[in-house]
């Protein structure tokens, strides 16, 4: 046997439902897109220009999906056995933004001519701050 619901109760339920549903819908628990991040890596060979000391230039690339600022690094000259022979810290202009897919040059002065001549290989470590691409 079915019971009849009083019309005033139905009206009250409709009003309460109309007030509660929008409040629940305002909660911002929707999934957000992960932040875009730069991914900088050196590529190619270093080029040296030597006089009394040697300046150098290398190329790096942003293979990430975000931009980078405050790009800086350490270039290490290594002996044939992998031990460090010398290192040099460098930085790009702090406001310089490296965009997605952008290749850029880095470098500095000075390595000694002897260290460049004795070098077996090199390694460049890059550091940066992720930045908006807008």
Superfamily of domain 40-131, CATH level 4: Immunoglobulins (2.60.40.10)
- Please choose, from the candidates 93, 86, 94, the residue with its C-alpha nearest in 3D space to the C-alpha of residue 110: 86
* Residue predicted with more confidence, 110 or 127: 127
Query: Where in the chain are the domains?
Result: 40-131
Predicted local confidence at residue 79, as pLDDT: 97
Digit-coded pLDDT (tens) for 61-118: 999 999 999 999 999 999 999 999 999 999 999 899 999 999 999 999 999 999 999 9
Residues 6+ away with beta carbon under 8 Å from 23:
none
Question: Whose structure tokens read 């300046």?
Answer: 55
Average pLDDT, the chain: 86
Which range (7-21, 35-49, 115-129) has the least confidence?
7-21
Q: What is the dihedral of CA 126, 43, 92, 55, to 10 degrees?
A: 110
């Amino acid at each position: 046997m079915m019971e009849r619901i009083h019309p005033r109760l139905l009206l009250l339920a409709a009003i309460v439902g109309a007030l509660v549903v929008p409040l629940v819908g305002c909660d911002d628990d929707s999934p957000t897109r992960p932040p875009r991040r730069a991914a900088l890596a050196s590529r190619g060979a270093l080029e040296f220009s030597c006089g009394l000391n040697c300046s150098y230039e290398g190329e790096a690339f942003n293979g990430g999906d975000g931009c980078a600022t405050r790009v800086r690094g350490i270039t290490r000259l290594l002996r044939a056995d992998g031990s460090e022979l010398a290192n040099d810290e460098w930085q790009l202009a702090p406001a310089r933004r490296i965009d997605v897919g952008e290749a850029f040059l880095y470098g500095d002065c000075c390595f000694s001519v002897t260290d460049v001549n004795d070098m077996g290989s090199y390694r460049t470590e890059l550091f940066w701050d992720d930045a908006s691409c807008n």
